[in-house]
Amino acid sequence: MAKELKIAVWNANRLHQKTQVLKMFLQTNEIDVIIISETSLTDKHFIKIPHYTIYDTKHPSGKGHGGSAVIIKDNIKHHFHNNCNQVNLQATIVNQTINGPFKLSAVYFPPKHKLTMEDYTEFF
């Protein structure tokens, strides 16, 4: 029997400043996976959430803007697949295998960059 996953999506705009709100949201709503864009995490700004694994892709400049993350409960069978760390695209991809394999992707395209069909097909 397939397990129903509760998946949320959020454009965080500086995730490290909203960690407590995120923890409360995950717990209150029993979220299994959250896909986050615009995390703005750096090597100095990181988060930890009990019982969850956090996969993130920072902006290549190392500065606190852009970025993406997939946060998934530890009890869900999964593994890191890939990431893309470019100025015009930050993406984090995780494979979950609890209901058969499928990819969970958090993607951030900065608005000042144009997404070409080549970018799209290369990534997806």
CA 60 to chain CA centroid, nearest Å: 16
CA–CA dist 25, 45 (Å, integer): 20
CB-count exposure of residue 60 (10 Å: 0-12, 13-18, 19+): middle
Per the prediction, the chain carries an average pLDDT of 90
pLDDT, mean of residues 82-100:
88
The answer to pTM > 0.85 is: yes
pLDDT, mean of residues 41-55:
92
pLDDT value at residue 49: 96
pLDDT, mean of residues 98-124:
82
Backbone angles phi, psi at 93, to 5 degrees: -125, 130
pLDDT, mean of residues 97-108:
88
Residue 31, pLDDT > 70, answer yes
pLDDT, mean of residues 31-36:
98
CA–CA dist 19, 39 (Å, integer): 11
Domain layout of the chain by residue ranges: 7-120
- Bridge partners (DSSP) listed for residue 72: 33, 53
pLDDT value at residue 2: 61
pLDDT value at residue 75: 94
pLDDT value at residue 70: 98
Choosing among 1.20.90.10, 3.40.50.300, 3.40.710.10, 3.60.10.10, the CATH entry for 7-120 is 3.60.10.10
One-character DSSP codes across 28-95? HHT-SEEEEE-----SS-----TTEEEEEE--TT-SSS--EEEEEETTS-EEEEEEEEETTEEEEEEE
